[in-house]
Structure 1
Amino acid sequence: MTSDSLEKMLLSKSGAIKEFPFDEVTAVYKVMNKMFALVGTKESYLNINLKCLPDDALGYRDIYECVIPGYHMNKKHWNTVIINGEMKDEVLIEMINDSYDLVVNNLTKKEKQALLNLV
């Protein structure tokens, strides 16, 4: 997956916005002001931090060498995926969808209604 296709996919999520709160090379993708993805391009490779259920986070790490505990994140709930071609795009997209859904499911009723109104 390329940087452009990754960004397009992340921003296609309902209510998704992109910000640079930390520096010029670390993009944070949020829904209703809650982070669901963090994309780093500072290294020589593209990487993305995604929220996961704890058991799923461990499972992905067991299956893929390109998945490591979330860099600068809660290691129980976040994974970093190094996008190097090891993981099929379909699996990465599933992880992105799960991360987004986990964040949306934890929004307040008011925030969920506001998100629905954006559609």
Structure 2
Amino acid sequence: MHIEQFRNYCITKKGVTEHFPFDDVTLVFKVMNKMFALSGLNSWEQNEAKVNLKCDPEKALELRSEYDSINPGWHMNKKHWNTLILNNDVSDKIAFELIDHSYELIVKGLTKKLREELKSM
């Protein structure tokens, strides 16, 4: 996966915006102002692309035991976030599924008002 594929996949989801809230190298994607994916752009330049994604805690543990390239979220709540090292043993297909999972978790946790607003976009 390339940075453009990651960015395009995230940004085309309904209600998603991109930001650099921490510094000028950490790209953050939010749905309805809630973060669901982030990546340090410098990791892509160093050929070790890393992405942090929200994950159901039980699923997170399963994924970490199944894949060497999925670890507890770097600088995140390690119970609810995973860091994926892309282009190793995590296929693009799995990465896209995990992006979807992260997005869906955030949407599910939105208030009813925000979910209705998202539906109407």
- Whether these two folds match at TM > 0.5 is yes
Alignment of 1:40-79 (within 5 A): 40-43=40-43, 44=46, 45-79=48-82
Q: CA deviation at 1:97?
A: 0.5
Q: CA deviation at 1:116?
A: 1.1
Q: Distance in 2 between matches of 1:57 and 1:40?
A: 21
Q: CA deviation at 1:88?
A: 1.0
Q: Which moved more, 1:14-23 or 1:81-90?
A: 81-90
Q: Distance in 1 between matches of 2:101 and 2:89?
A: 19
Other-structure match for 2:101: 98
Would you say how many aligned residue pairs link Structure 1 and Structure 2?
A: 118
Other-structure match for 1:111: 114
Say what the alpha-carbon RMSD is for the aligned residues: 0.9
Work out the percentage of aligned pairs sharing the same amino acid: 46
Q: Distance in 1 between matches of 2:34 and 2:26?
A: 16
Aligned to 2:120, what secondary structure does the other structure show? helix
Q: CA deviation at 1:10?
A: 0.5
Other-structure match for 1:21: 21
Runs of 4+ with >4 A deviation: none
Unaligned runs of 5+ in 2: none
Q: Distance in 2 between matches of 1:40 and 1:86?
A: 20
Other-structure match for 1:8: 8
Q: Distance in 1 between matches of 2:41 and 2:68?
A: 19
